[in-house]
Amino acid sequence: MTRGTNPFEPPAGGLSLYIHVPFCERKCPYCAFESKVPSDSDTDLWLETLGKELEWWIKRIGTPSLHTCYIGGGTPTVINGPQWLRLSEMLDSHFRFDPDAEVTAEANPNSLKADHLLLWRDWRVNRVSIGVQSFDDAELMQLGRLHSAAQAYEAISASLASGFSVSADFMFGLPGQTFRNWARTLNQAVKSGINHVSLYQLTLEPGTPWESMPEQDLSDGYLPYRWAQWYMPRKGYNQYEIANFAKNGHASRHNINYWEEGQYLGIGPGASGYLNGWRYKNISALNEYSRLLDRGGSAIASGERLSGEKKASEAAVLALRMSKGIDRKEFSLKYGIFQERKIIEKLSRFPEDLYNISEKNISLTLKGMRVANRIWSELV
């Protein structure tokens, strides 16, 4: 961020809140998210500094109401019961939650405890997102996960029994992954009773231990993804976004807010936010994050305000992630008919079976979703 400027105003209406917990019991070899294995003092330092960042923001934007709150990471279940209690009290003292606010906590099966579920249920959490990745023990070991398939089942069962809406993440395109194993994982996911499924293809991210893995070692992701598009709706999970399938009433409202360009406040080391058309990212290192806030400054490391064609293109890409696509009337009112026509012109360079254009909407077909990265690269 350019120091000496303050681009923020109190947001109109409510917003979403993201809290980043930058800790994991062990760093997975494919993971590029901001996280580390904490020392004994790190979690307390993070929690103390988080309170200072909240104070910094509240002085500038007031006490907004929250439509959604997402506590992610990293691994939020690394922090213990007393720390969770302190975090919940801190959030209650700084924000007003809508009566029907969606509050999500992420969890890993190996670190999710009964104490977490009890505390969450007594507070505001109504949705639990569990990092399962696979129901195959050999794949879990390959991925460096600390849990077994049996532990994943136990975590899901306990969360459902506690009354939460439960989501789980799974990965495809793994080295050596067979179609049979992938189909078995999806079948077991359905049988587990979860309400929401997120499916991600393995990518070799810069800065991770797997960065230098030869691309040819990865299994092809096209067939597993196409199978999921066919199989999951037949089991009651509607594909409402590129990577997400949900039973009726269980789509992630927090993530939909991202894709619809809603405002969200990001708190914690490495967190990102979007307020009043301005996107920012916090500094990642915990000690530097703490030092800056101890001095009364902000934790913001960088930011940008998008405008014009760049803003319209990003909005189009985000909207096309969802099955409902772009609302043409809303898009043209916001960005102009010229920008809408440019999106249509760029899409017309692709085969017609990859997209749909009606009087009301512009969207990708199921086939278009399978090659979405190629389409998005043309739009931006």
The predicted-structure confidence for 207-221, as pLDDT tens digits, reads as follows 777 777 777 677 788
Confidence of residue 337 (pLDDT cuts 50, 70, 90): very high
At residue 215, the pLDDT reads 74
Point out the least confidently predicted range of 143-152, 282-291, 304-313. Answer: 304-313
Q: Which helix (H) or strand (E) holds 262?
A: none
Q: Helix, strand or coil for residue 146?
A: coil
9, with CB counted inside 10 A (0-12, 13-18, 19+), is exposed
- The reported pLDDT for the residue numbered 3 is 37
Cβ-based burial of 90 (10 A; exposed 0-12, middle 13-18, buried ≥19): middle
Of the chain, the percentage scoring pLDDT greater than 90 comes to 79
Beta bridge partners of 133: 170
Confidence of residue 5 (pLDDT cuts 50, 70, 90): very low
Is pLDDT above 50 for 4?
no
Average pLDDT over residues 312-332: 95
**Which residue type is seen at 114?**
A
198 pLDDT higher than 70:
yes
258 confidence band (pLDDT: 50, 70, 90): very high
Residue 326 in this model has a pLDDT that exceeds 50: yes
Which parts of the chain are beta strand (E)? Answer: 15-21, 65-73, 96-107, 127-133, 165-172, 196-201, 238-241, 244-246, 264-267, 272-275, 278-282, 300-305, 326-327, 355-357, 361-364
User: 360-372 pLDDT, tens per residue?
Assistant: 999 999 999 999 9
Is 80 exceeded by the pLDDT of residue 9? no
Instruction: State pTM to two decimals.
Output: 0.94
Task: State the average pLDDT over residues 323-334.
Answer: 96
- Whether 19 shows a pLDDT value over 70: the answer reads yes
Cis peptide before 74 (omega within 30 of 0): yes
pLDDT band at 309 (very low <50, low <70, confident <90, very high): confident
Taking 60 as the threshold, does the pLDDT of residue 1 lie above it? Answer: no
Domains of the chain (ranges, CATH numbers): 15-259 (3.20.20.70), 308-379 (1.10.10.920)
d(CA 263, CA 274): 5
Rounded distance between C-alpha atoms, residue 23 and residue 2, angstroms: 29
Residues 6+ apart with CB under 8 A from 189: 132, 135, 168, 170, 197
Report whether 173 contacts 224 (CB < 8 A).
Answer: yes
Mean pLDDT of 60-64: 88
* pLDDT the model gives residue 7: 58
pLDDT at 40: 79
Residue 6 has pLDDT above 60, yes or no: no
What is the model's pLDDT at position 141? Answer: 94
As beta bridge partners, residue 244 has 198, 241
How far apart are alpha carbons 266 and 274 in whole angstroms? 8
Considering 5-9, 40-44, 140-144, 195-199, the range whose residues carry the highest mean pLDDT is 195-199
The model's pLDDT over 170-194, given as tens digits with 9 standing for 90+, comes to 999 999 899 999 999 999 999 999 9
